[in-house]
């Protein structure tokens, strides 16, 4: 027997068997509900209001007060009769700020992953009786046997060459990618590629004209895997429990929809054209899930991936909407937690080709850091956690409509908020959290240990579980609207995250006997990198206290690196060199890291001498 489930305010109705969770029902009905724990009942992001017969799991971790108001965790509530589900705004996955901008790039020499060569072949005759394939090979300056076309193409070849009257567009893999013949197309066919950044949270795709090297259009969306878990560890667990294929399908759906969106925004010519080359940047887990590789061992010491250097694949092997023989290249990663996205960042920054000493920080779900120049590269992952992406912080949320992205607390302790989409605030995203913590610290609302200073401040309240700071008050008369508050445990999580990042940087510098002051440049990459306020980030000790002109935002370096490797054999070679040359430093059992982490677990740091500009500000007060 099936029961009706009505979702509001969507007015979507669908039927489900007894025992379906409300979260699964929503997913199947196409109603998106946030979850960051993969439906384990721990993140409490999937709060919905349920009317009707639905059984709640006995051990649901939800405040009594909320339960009494009708709130339920969608993942812990089972359909046992006809029900109506109100999905409140804060539980929705919404369009947000996904960083698609990237360094403009036109390689010196355009050598895209695939080549499309116009050929006018001489017609065969008794004096020139080469086989069709050998005739093609000769015209391409290759030896017979080198083209290695797919057998399906070979089967079509005689007819196609003659139908096209020997005037063709030969689609080939670039020489560094094997040089194989992929297809024979009519003259003047368009030649299209794509660059793809598969993030744990967001996926971005750019269509690229491979002849000109221009980006035609870009589309982005949340990774549909999100509903199965918010971070890589949760997703690996999900895969371990038999969910690998589902995870793969989710990201394929995401990507394939992006292809359609990007095409829809492209000129008409492009709409019918197959993508013949795809360069993919992603962290090691995302690449595993995209290719359907078992990610299990990434998670456990000694953190071994199936591969850091995935072989070149064909479109048909991936399930993507592209030319079945088109090439899929994954940028190699250095380790399980310093993946191809970081290699792409390095490529985009250009740090590996310059003499100046540079530090690259990718502030994503994990915080990856690379130090080096043309002589050397060292990298590490701080496993910083998702505090800056909305996880582990009660009021935290992703950078989407309703997120507080900037916070300023002025001299009169007035709090000014800037909200994405000019909407009512629903929570605070990463850049907002940095601002919030920095401004609270600057004003003395929190001390160097992250403790909220009680008493005299109007927005500070004492509760049973400790003091809290009210970022935004609930507006009266709105039932579902809740206050946005930050508590000491949230602040502790933020400090832990920033301390881990800073400590990672310290360890890398010490590993090559350098100091922060010797850095010529600090590149900031990653999902919300561009939105960070440098001053506030230094104030809390997330970034080192260096002259501000040494900081450079490179935007979505993963996407930029994917575009560059899509278009340039040299960049593909460099990506491989980054893999070969980078020394990976494992922090998980490093005593040095733990010492540095402990020292950095203050605002801005135990050692104020490291943050002279912050010391000056604090001194002034």
Evaluate whether 367 touches 497 at the Cβ level (below 8 Å). Answer: yes
Residues 6+ apart with CB under 8 A from 432: 403, 404, 405, 406, 407, 417, 418
Among 134, 249, 552, 581, binds a second copy (CB under 8 A): 134
Considering the complex, what minimum distance in angstroms separates the CB of residue 149 from a second copy?
Answer: 6
The 10 Å Cβ neighbour count of residue 159 is 10
Among 2, 18, 28, 155, binds a second copy (CB under 8 A): 155
Closest residue by Cα to residue 26 from 5, 51, 45:
5
Considering the complex, what minimum distance in angstroms separates the CB of residue 232 from a second copy?
Answer: 16
Considering the complex, what minimum distance in angstroms separates the CB of residue 162 from a second copy?
Answer: 8
Considering the complex, what minimum distance in angstroms separates the CB of residue 374 from a second copy?
Answer: 22
- Whichever of 21 and 318 has its CB closer to a second copy, that residue is 318
Considering the complex, what minimum distance in angstroms separates the CB of residue 582 from a second copy?
Answer: 13
Considering the complex, what minimum distance in angstroms separates the CB of residue 133 from a second copy?
Answer: 4
Rounded CA-CA distance 336/73 in Å is 33
Per-residue contact string for residues 527-556; x = within reach of a second copy by CB under 8 A: ------------------------------
Based on the shown chain and the rule CB under 8 A, indicate whether residue 455 belongs to the binding site for a second copy: no
Among 307, 401, 453, 583, binds a second copy (CB under 8 A): 307
> What are the distances in angstroms from CA 276 to CA 171, 192, 196?
8, 6, 13
Based on the shown chain and the rule CB under 8 A, indicate whether residue 332 belongs to the binding site for a second copy: yes
Considering the complex, what minimum distance in angstroms separates the CB of residue 439 from a second copy?
Answer: 41
Among 187, 214, 317, 607, binds a second copy (CB under 8 A): 317
The strands making up 367-372's β-sheet, listed across from edge to edge, are: 551-555, 521-525, 358-363, 367-372, 377-381, 582-584
Provide DSSP, 16-36: EETT-BHHHHHHHHT--B--S
Based on the shown chain and the rule CB under 8 A, indicate whether residue 14 belongs to the binding site for a second copy: no
> What are the distances in angstroms from CA 111 to CA 36, 176, 194, 531?
41, 10, 14, 33
Based on the shown chain and the rule CB under 8 A, indicate whether residue 302 belongs to the binding site for a second copy: yes
- Whichever of 575 and 614 has its CB closer to a second copy, that residue is 575
Among 13, 17, 67, 144, binds a second copy (CB under 8 A): 144
Considering the complex, what minimum distance in angstroms separates the CB of residue 306 from a second copy?
Answer: 5
Based on the shown chain and the rule CB under 8 A, indicate whether residue 149 belongs to the binding site for a second copy: yes
- Near a second copy by CB under 8 A, which window of 25-33, 38-46, 82-90, 146-154? 146-154
Among 9, 145, 455, 458, binds a second copy (CB under 8 A): 145
- Whichever of 482 and 576 has its CB closer to a second copy, that residue is 576
Interface with a second copy (CB under 8 A), residue total 50
- Near a second copy by CB under 8 A, which window of 34-42, 331-339, 427-435, 552-560? 331-339
Neighbour-count burial of 57, counting CB atoms closer than 10 A to its CB (0-12 exposed, 13-18 middle, 19+ buried): middle
Residues 90-129 that bind a second copy (CB under 8 A): 124-126, 128-129
Among 32, 90, 111, 132, binds a second copy (CB under 8 A): 132
Considering the complex, what minimum distance in angstroms separates the CB of residue 580 from a second copy?
Answer: 8
- Near a second copy by CB under 8 A, which window of 275-283, 328-336, 445-453, 520-528? 328-336
Among 39, 305, 450, 557, binds a second copy (CB under 8 A): 305
Based on the shown chain and the rule CB under 8 A, indicate whether residue 436 belongs to the binding site for a second copy: no
Among 12, 14, 119, 130, binds a second copy (CB under 8 A): 130
Per-residue contact string for residues 559-578; x = within reach of a second copy by CB under 8 A: -----------------x--
Among 48, 54, 87, 133, binds a second copy (CB under 8 A): 133
Three-state DSSP at 243 gives: helix
Residues 6+ apart with CB under 8 A from 129: none
Evaluate whether 360 touches 523 at the Cβ level (below 8 Å). Answer: yes
**Is the backbone peptide bond immediately before 427 cis, with ω within 30 degrees of 0?**
no
Considering the complex, what minimum distance in angstroms separates the CB of residue 605 from a second copy?
Answer: 28
Q: Where are the alpha helices (DSSP H) in 239-299?
A: 244-264, 268-271, 284-291, 296-299
Considering the complex, what minimum distance in angstroms separates the CB of residue 597 from a second copy?
Answer: 18
Q: Where are the alpha helices (DSSP H) in 243-402?
A: 244-264, 268-271, 284-291, 296-299, 340-349
- Near a second copy by CB under 8 A, which window of 35-43, 288-296, 374-382, 534-542? 288-296
- Whichever of 360 and 587 has its CB closer to a second copy, that residue is 587
Task: Give bridge partners of residue 152 from the DSSP assignment.
Answer: none
Evaluate whether 334 touches 346 at the Cβ level (below 8 Å). Answer: no
> What are the distances in angstroms from CA 609 to CA 75, 451, 489, 597?
48, 22, 27, 17
**Is the backbone peptide bond immediately before 604 cis, with ω within 30 degrees of 0?**
yes
The 10 Å Cβ neighbour count of residue 59 is 7
Based on the shown chain and the rule CB under 8 A, indicate whether residue 255 belongs to the binding site for a second copy: no
Based on the shown chain and the rule CB under 8 A, indicate whether residue 458 belongs to the binding site for a second copy: no
- Whichever of 176 and 488 has its CB closer to a second copy, that residue is 176
> Which secondary-structure segment (H or E) carries 400?
none
Rounded CA-CA distance 156/151 in Å is 9
- Whichever of 183 and 221 has its CB closer to a second copy, that residue is 183
Rounded CA-CA distance 140/149 in Å is 14
Based on the shown chain and the rule CB under 8 A, indicate whether residue 81 belongs to the binding site for a second copy: no
- Whichever of 314 and 514 has its CB closer to a second copy, that residue is 314
Specify the pairing of strand 466-472 against strand 484-487.
Answer: antiparallel
- Near a second copy by CB under 8 A, which window of 99-107, 164-172, 211-219, 286-294? 286-294
Based on the shown chain and the rule CB under 8 A, indicate whether residue 294 belongs to the binding site for a second copy: yes
Residues 336-355 that bind a second copy (CB under 8 A): 336
DSSP letter for 373, please: -
Residues 6+ apart with CB under 8 A from 134: 144
Provide DSSP, 156-193: HHHHHHHHTTTEEEEEEE-GGGT--EEEEEETT---EE
DSSP letter for 531, please: G
Considering the complex, what minimum distance in angstroms separates the CB of residue 361 from a second copy?
Answer: 23
The 10 Å Cβ neighbour count of residue 221 is 19
Residues 580-599 that bind a second copy (CB under 8 A): 584, 586, 589
**Is the backbone peptide bond immediately before 291 cis, with ω within 30 degrees of 0?**
no
Binding site for a second copy (CB under 8 A): 124-126, 128-134, 144-145, 147-149, 151, 154-155, 157-159, 291-294, 296-297, 301-313, 317-318, 332, 335-336, 576, 579, 584, 586, 589
């Amino acid at each position: 027997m099936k029961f009706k489930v009505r979702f509001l305010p969507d007015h979507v109705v669908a039927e489900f068997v007894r025992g379906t969770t409300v979260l699964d029902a929503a997913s199947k009905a196409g109603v998106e509900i946030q979850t960051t724990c993969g439906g384990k009942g721990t993140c409490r992001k999937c709060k919905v209001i349920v009317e009707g017969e639905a059984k709640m799991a006995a051990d649901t971790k939800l405040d009594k007060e909320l339960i009494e108001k009708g709130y339920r965790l969608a993942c812990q509530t089972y359909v046992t009769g006809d029900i109506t589900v109100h999905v409140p705004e804060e539980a929705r996955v919404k369009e947000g700020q996904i960083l698609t901008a990237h360094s403009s790039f036109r390689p010196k020499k355009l050598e895209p992953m695939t080549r499309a060569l116009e050929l006018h072949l001489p017609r065969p005759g008794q004096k020139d009786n080469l086989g069709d394939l050998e005739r093609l090979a000769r015209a391409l300056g290759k030896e017979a046997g080198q083209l290695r076309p797919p057998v399906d193409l070979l089967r079509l070849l005689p007819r196609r060459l003659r139908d096209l009257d020997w005037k063709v567009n030969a689609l080939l893999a670039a020489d560094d990618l094997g040089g194989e013949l992929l297809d024979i197309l009519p003259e003047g066919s368009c030649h299209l590629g794509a660059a793809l950044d598969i993030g744990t949270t967001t996926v971005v795709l750019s269509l690229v004209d491979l002849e000109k090297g221009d980006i035609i259009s870009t589309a982005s969306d949340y990774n549909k895997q999100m509903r199965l878990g918010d971070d890589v560890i949760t997703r690996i667990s999900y895969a371990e429990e038999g969910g690998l294929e589902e995870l793969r399908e989710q990201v394929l759906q995401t990507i394939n929809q992006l292809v359609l969106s990007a095409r829809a925004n492209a000129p008409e010519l492009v709409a019918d054209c197959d993508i013949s080359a795809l360069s993919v940047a992603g962290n090691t887990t995302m690449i595993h899930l995209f290719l359907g590789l078992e990610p299990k061992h990434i998670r456990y010491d000694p953190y071994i991936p199936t591969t850091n250097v995935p072989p070149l694949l064909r479109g048909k092997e991936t399930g993507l909407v592209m030319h079945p023989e088109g090439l899929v290249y994954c940028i190699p990663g250095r380790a399980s937690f310093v993946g191809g996205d970081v290699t792409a960042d390095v490529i985009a920054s250009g740090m590996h080709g310059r003499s100046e000493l540079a530090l690259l920080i990718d502030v994503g779900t994990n915080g990856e850091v690379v130090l080096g120049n043309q002589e050397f590269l060292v990298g590490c992952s701080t496993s910083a956690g998702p505090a800056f992406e909305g996880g582990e912080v009660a009021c935290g949320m992703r950078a989407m409509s309703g997120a507080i992205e900037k916070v300023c607390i002025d001299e009169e302790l007035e709090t000014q908020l800037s909200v994405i989409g000019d909407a009512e605030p629903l929570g605070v995203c990463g850049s907002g959290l940095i601002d919030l913590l920095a401004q609270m610290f600057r004003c003395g609302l929190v001390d160097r240990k992250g403790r909220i200073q009680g008493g005299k401040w109007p927005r500070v309240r004492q509760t049973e579980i400790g003091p809290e700071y009210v970022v935004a008050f609930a507006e009266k008369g709105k039932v579902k609207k809740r206050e946005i508050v930050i508590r000491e445990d949230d602040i502790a999580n933020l400090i832990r995250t920033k301390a881990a990042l800073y400590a990672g940087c310290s360890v890398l510098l010490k590993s090559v006997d350098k100091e922060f002051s010797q850095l010529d440049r600090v590149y900031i990459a990653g999902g919300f990198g561009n939105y960070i306020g440098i001053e506030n980030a230094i104030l809390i000790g997330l970034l080192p206290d260096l002259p501000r002109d040494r900081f450079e935002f490179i935007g979505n370096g993963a996407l930029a690196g994917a575009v560059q490797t899509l278009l340039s054999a040299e960049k593909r070679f460099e990506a491989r060199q980054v893999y070969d040359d980078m020394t990976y430093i494992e922090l998980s059992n490093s005593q040095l890291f733990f010492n540095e982490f402990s020292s950095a677990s203050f605002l801005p740091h135990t050692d104020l001498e490291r943050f002279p500009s912050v010391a000056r500000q604090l001194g002034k007060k």
